[in-house]
Structure 1
Amino acid sequence: MITEQQISTVIGSTAVGRDGKLGTVGEVYLDDETGRPEWATVRTGLFGTKEAFVPLAQADITGDELRLPYDKDKVKNAPHMDSEGHLSPTEESELYRYYGLEGGTGPTTDTTTAHTTTGTDHPGTVGHDTSRPTTDNAMTRSEEHLNVGTRSEEVGRARLRKYVVSENVTETVPVAREEVRVEREPITDANVGNALDGPAISEEEHEVTLHAERPVVEKEAVPVERVRLDTQTVTEQATVNEEVRKEQIEFDADDVNRRR
């Protein structure tokens, strides 16, 4: 159970559930009648842009961690409340039913955001918000801070595709061929036997087979290289322009000391 003295420690602490970190505690809501801390808001989401209500009935603060008996999905899916610093009894009842607390630890009453102050307290100073019944002696000024991060997403795909093209290749290769030439030799003692072989006078033909080389082309598929796709990371600067809001506080007072 969280006490009133632990409120300043709870605000800004890290909320931890059964399965790990839940988020950062933003605000603590007090019971209007008892002043007891009843609820806390936990900022969840990628940049802490969502707030979920969690009951403090079974919470425990250890160091800078607020330990809660709930898992991430339970807190993330809690009913969303546009509380604006205040929870109505109807809203509280809905949250109690969601967390299975059977109406909470006591009677269901209005709850209001707790504010923490630093510096010198003035016991005699009593303040109140004009829109809400109770507050302490200070007004909280808030502003939006821009949290910029990055996420990886798919922007396109690259692929390799193989197709066939034809081209003409010209090469020169030497070819040989046989040609006929006529040789005459006189009759000698060495060849007279061959000369007298056959009839003395006759008609006859003598032929010689001629040969020539012709170019022959054969094709074969030969692997010549390997091609693959690879990626590399290139870093560049991206400018983000977003509007943020902040509250301003101005002073206004009635002239109670005016002379008459």
Structure 2
Amino acid sequence: MATGTTFDVEALRRATVHASDGAKIGKVGEVYLDDATDRPEWVTVRTGLFGSSETFVPLAGATSTDDELRVPYTKDQVKDAPRTDADGQLTPDEEERLYRHYGLDASTSAATDTTTGTTAGTTGAEHLRGEGTGYTEGTGQRRGEYEGLDELGAAQGTAGPGAGTTTGTTSRRTEGHDTSGPTTDEAMTRSEERLQVGTERREAGRARLRKHVVTETQTHQVPTSHEEVTLEREPVTDRNRGAATSGPELSDEEHEVVLHEEVPVVSTTVEPVERVRVGTREVSEERTVSADVRKEEIDLDADAPRADAGRDRDRL
């Protein structure tokens, strides 16, 4: 779809999109160019919380002044546009849905310009950010009915109504397409879960040192001594006669002797005997872990004859 106004790509990237009534919609995210003219045709607008979403809006009828891009649509119309991944290209189906949403006729909005010689870009109704890849030679319309791209990135299918033909590297085989959703593609992606094994450090327990007092009985042998009374008799002789006759001749008399003995005495003293501390050490061991993982399997169930007709089903 060719737009009547010429836009500068860098200026568009800096622009803020406003609705027809002047309401601010959001900042421009990406600029998409027309394959045939290399002119900006679509932009994405960052909407949602913190610009988390991008919505496509056409530049047909839009005007640009300074850093403001005003489009002839309401804010709600832009925000309610079909969600399309801003992955660098628009498929024909995605573009058709956007045309219908904005009330544009894709068949009459196709570019009327024709290209002669070598044009940079990919054929088909794709719109790429910046400069495309591959070359298309010849003259003809750049829009038509396409079925997809082959592995080389060249368009395949037949060109729509237009004055001329498009020549280049094409594939004549029919590519498959997804019938379970609104968009078409050429292949399925098979995914599977991979088991990631690692370790994490966590608390396994705690150890504490505590000190308390216990009482025990100790037995020791202690030598002791004591005095005992002994009675000794000796005759009176000239040697001790004086001491023997110093008292009265006949009288009552009492003599006392003090006896002594040793007894065990117990006392205690506190002395440091050792130091005790707690520490840790690493011990390595092998553990076996297991978990369930899922994977996708792709089955081929074909009604038409195939080269490997001897097999009923293929599982990939």
| Distance across 2 between alignment mates of 1:167 and 1:110 | 86
**Residues 114-125 of structure 1 aligned to structure 2 (within 5 Å):** 121=152, 123-124=170-171
Tell me the residue number matched to 2:262.
Answer: 213
Q: Report deviation, 1:162.
A: 2.7
Give the secondary structure class of the aligned counterpart of 1:142: coil
Alignment match of 1:187 (pick from 221, 231, 236): 236
Change (3 A) 1:256 1:213: closer
Matched, 1:228 2:280: no
| Distance across 1 between alignment mates of 2:86 and 2:293 | 26
Tell whether the 8 Å contact from 2:225 to 2:261 is kept in structure 1 after alignment: yes
| Distance across 2 between alignment mates of 1:213 and 1:179 | 12
| Distance across 2 between alignment mates of 1:160 and 1:224 | 17
- Letter matched to residue 198 of structure 1: G
| Distance across 1 between alignment mates of 2:245 and 2:86 | 144
Q: TM-score, normalised by structure 2?
A: 0.43
Q: TM-score, normalised by structure 1?
A: 0.51
**Residues 37-56 of structure 1 aligned to structure 2 (within 5 Å):** none
Tell me the residue number matched to 2:178.
Answer: 129
Give the secondary structure class of the aligned counterpart of 1:194: helix
Q: CA RMSD in A?
A: 3.7
Alignment match of 1:93 (pick from 42, 47, 66): 47
Matched, 1:166 2:120: no
Q: Report deviation, 1:229.
A: 2.0
> Which has the higher mean CA deviation after the structures are superposed, 203-212 or 237-246?
237-246
- Unmatched 5+ residue regions in structure 2? 1-29, 35-43, 58-77, 89-150, 154-169, 307-316
Change (3 A) 1:171 1:179: same
Q: Report deviation, 1:141.
A: 1.5
| Distance across 2 between alignment mates of 1:104 and 1:209 | 119
- Letter matched to residue 214 of structure 2: V
Change (3 A) 1:242 1:34: farther
Which deviations, in whole Å up to 9, do the C-alpha atoms of 1:75-98 show, x marking residues without a partner?
xxxxxxxxxxxxxx99x733xx42
Matched, 1:110 2:87: no
| Distance across 2 between alignment mates of 1:254 and 1:225 | 88
Q: Report deviation, 1:222.
A: 3.0
| Distance across 1 between alignment mates of 2:199 and 2:228 | 84
| Distance across 1 between alignment mates of 2:266 and 2:33 | 103
- Letter matched to residue 111 of structure 1: D
Give the secondary structure class of the aligned counterpart of 2:300: coil
Where relative contact order (Cα < 8 A, 6+ residues apart) is larger, the structure is 1
Q: Report deviation, 1:139.
A: 2.7
Report sequence identity in percent: 48
**Residues 147-166 of structure 1 aligned to structure 2 (within 5 Å):** 147-166=196-215
Tell me the residue number matched to 1:241.
Answer: 290
| Distance across 2 between alignment mates of 1:244 and 1:113 | 30
- Unmatched 5+ residue regions in structure 1? 1-30, 36-88, 115-119
| Distance across 2 between alignment mates of 1:234 and 1:113 | 51
Q: Report deviation, 1:145.
A: 0.2
Change (3 A) 1:34 1:235: farther
- Letter matched to residue 178 of structure 2: D
Give the secondary structure class of the aligned counterpart of 1:111: coil
